[in-house]
A and B are shown apart, each in its own frame.
Chain A
Amino acid sequence: MKKSLAVLASILIIFSGTAVSDEKPPIKYGLTLDYTKSYVFATPSVSQAIEDYRNYLNARGGINGHKLEILNSDHGNEPQRGIEAYERKKREGAIVFEHFSTPVSKAVLPKAMKDKNVLLQTLTGRSDAADGEAFPYAFPIAPTYWAMAANIIQYIENNTKDIKKTKIAFTYLDFPFGQEPIPVLQELQKQLGFELKLFPIALPGTDQSGVWSGIRRFKPDYVVAWSISSLHNIALTEMTRNRIPIEKYISVVWASRLDLKSFGHERAKGVKRVEAVATGTEIPIIQEILKMYDEGKGAGPRENVGTVYYMGGIAEMSILVEGAKLALNQFGEPLTGEKLKKGLELIRDFDANGVMAPVTITSSDHQGGGKTRIAEWDGEKWAPITDWEAAHTELVWKTIKEHSAKFIKENQ
């Protein structure tokens, strides 16, 4: 009897052993987003994209056999809740995190650096985290606001006869997000000699009438706007009222198809934005994902697929997966935060499944090149009117270094 039990037990052990070795442990991704407060204009699309991509990936065997597991929850844009979620997910084994909220990313950054966990912070958090030497574990991957501002100025430079006679109005939400590009713009003004005037919009930005009558008097050739989501509608309405052609409006990345809806898709023709990711549903990876929607397996409403926030999520996931693959191939199992960091830094000219300009990440450059392009709303979709490019990179990097040097000094 005892013997047979022992045999049975050993058989069980062997079986369970093989079962374990077949199924590699999942890679855990701590995704804590703001579903309920400030970032709700983008969060549902980003989250939907990440979940869609995970399903797409896991159905095809995951990352070298590892399934990607997402630990998802809400932080309501509150730093202390973000920290709690970070600590909890760290304990559950997550090695890579995204919070998609500037206050939370800032609060988690020192902890992630200490724990050697990868912190993705696309378009949120400190911009100077692009400096991989100062912030080894933070990966903004997307172009910084400084790079976007520089690229917009480059576009304007390419499209005017004489940059010295060009008048540029910079209108921005009067808090750190909007104030950030100012030093770069002012430096470029010195170098190129265009005329620049700043028009701050007081928070919460729902009343912009004073700002736009000021802009009308300034008679700008271009209006560069650091504003978000539905506030663009207010800006465009005020522009129409002040008879400033809306073709002059160039927005930061935070403008999507849905954001223009209440102003009217037809009316908004000619509005421009800088973009870091391609949008639309023609891209092969999106076609594949749409097949899942045809089967009824989508993670959210179909009309979100292909919008700028959705594509941001896809881009980030593509880069993360690529980095994880490189890390597993180069440094072997098991995947840790340290290995993933090194893996991400091996990415060379990777176009995130056709969603981004080719991205190269190195141990010093976590921005990934900083390439953007300008797209114009044609009444139905955002049509790119320039190629991917990164302009004035020296100035951008000088600014990044200036800020990160301060951080290094503070931490000594």
Chain B
Amino acid sequence: MFYRQAAIRHTSYDQTKKLYPIPFDKWLVVAVLLVALLAPFAMSGLYLNSYLLPWVIWSTAALSLNLLMGYAGQIHLGYAAVMAIGAYSSVHAMRLGAPFEFALILGGATAMIIGVGFGFTALRVKGLYLAISTLAVQYLVDWVLTHVPAIGGGTQATLQTPTPALLGFEITTDIGRYYLALGWCAVVTIFMLNVKRTGLGRALIAVREKDYAASVLGVNSYYYKLIAFAVSSFFGGVTGAILAFTFFGAVTPEQYSIDISIQILAMVVVGGLGSVLGSFFGAGFILLAPLFLNNMVTGLAEAYDFGVSRSVISHIPLILYGGLIMLFLLFEPLGLAKIYDNIRKYFLVWPFGFSRR
């Protein structure tokens, strides 16, 4: 009934290679896109600015990290630092008079160069050792931001972002900033959806599964690991800049701290490694669940006097949040995207569920 597969024939390569062979999937994506496009007109400033906008941006960040972690299998614990490099470079570039579009690309390029520099460690070490060496990026960047006034902006370590302008039009409204973030998110999403269908994507997946097996097959694993670091860092850098320009309006080291690195990592893992949809789910869950839980518990505490102190009440959402992460991962270790996939597979053959067995 849903996900109708009638009249889908696999008679040519073009048909088989389609991104969404099932029309329902395609229309679902179109519907979500329409909702995303129309949302700012139906939403209050509160939900647009502090829920939808950060969700879009953090999803983009999770997608970019997913390229590296999900597709190429290289763990990265300092991704917020990569975003910081992009953000600070583009802010500096704009201050020096570069147009916004150019500043964004420059931010991405700087992040790419530094990201690849650290990516070289990936050629030598794997797994936990790589995790530690990427953690070094985080600490080095944090140190530079707080100790080099020319980059970090002096004792306050804060730089206000100039007003972004796309093709000469200044973006000053909330809706404009949202569309800017959404546009960048769409670019990264389309790239991520399609990369799997290219030689690059297949090579990355080969490297992820076993790098020396990939070498045996003629895939240069060194080259593709560096490509993964480069592309992912470029996306991360631009996303970091978008985050600064559209959401915070300023850059400070705390916005790109180790906590954020861990959060983005958690988004990728909770959402589902290597899944585009999962990045959106993961970002939504890691970013928005604390907000909802916090508001829920605060609301309850105001309605019913629990007779406990504010600090105790503030810790309840954390307990619930931790519990939820554990529950989700126990229920489906492959992440939130897999939960959706299970539901989809159920409806794919519904009401003839017995045919799956």
Contacts and interface: CB of A to CB of B under 8 A. Distances in A.
Contacts, number: 108
Contacts of B315: 35-36
Interface stretch (B42-50, B105-113, B116-124, B191-199): B42-50
A278 B189 CA distance: 57
A93 to B, nearest CB: 13
B156 A410 contact: no
Nearest to A404: B156
Contacts of B158: 106, 126
B184 interface: no
A40 B158 CA distance: 24
A33 B199 CA distance: 50
A103 B50 contact: no
Given A36-B314, A88-B50, A103 B309 contact: no
Interface string B290-308: 1100110010000000000
A25 interface: no
B318 interface: yes
A80 B295 CA distance: 14
Interface stretch (A175-183, A205-213, A266-274): A175-183
Given A74-B317, A175-B146, 4 more contacts: A83-B247, A88-B50, A176-B155, A410-B160
Main secondary structure, interface of A, reads helix
B259 interface: yes
Given A91-B44, A110-B250, A74 B314 contact: yes
Interface string B115-149: 00000000000000000000000000000001100
Interface of A: 33, 35-36, 40, 43-44, 47-48, 51, 72-74, 76, 78-81, 83-84, 87-88, 90-91, 102-103, 106-107, 110-111, 126-128, 174-176, 179-180, 182-183, 299-300, 403, 406-407, 410-411
B154 A403 contact: yes
Given A403-B154, A407-B160, A84 B314 contact: no
A76 B154 contact: no
Contacts of A88: 46, 50, 295
Given A80-B54, A106-B250, A107-B250, A73 B46 contact: no
Contacts of B155: 176, 179-180, 182-183, 403
Contacts of B153: 406
A74 B313 CA distance: 9
B69 to A, nearest CB: 22
B114 interface: no
A249 to B, nearest CB: 24
B320 interface: no
B255 A103 contact: yes
Contacts of A47: 310-311
Contacts of A33: 310
Interface of B: 44-46, 49-51, 54, 95, 146-147, 153-160, 162, 247-250, 252-255, 259, 287, 290-291, 294-295, 298, 309-311, 314-315, 317-318
Contacts of B247: 80, 83
A177 B97 CA distance: 31
Contacts of A91: 44-46
Nearest to A82: B50
A73 B298 contact: yes
B54 A44 contact: no
A84 B153 CA distance: 26
Contacts of B290: 76, 81
22 contacts: A35-B314, A74-B317, A78-B259, A79-B255, A80-B54, A80-B247, A80-B287, A81-B290, A87-B45, A88-B46, A88-B50, A103-B255, A110-B250, A111-B249, A176-B156, A176-B157, A179-B146, A183-B155, A410-B95, A410-B160, A410-B162, A411-B160
A110 to B, nearest CB: 5
B248 A87 contact: no
B30 to A, nearest CB: 29
Give me the 3 closest cross-chain CB pairs, A-B, nearest first: A35-B314, A103-B254, A74-B314
A80 B50 contact: yes
B84 to A, nearest CB: 13
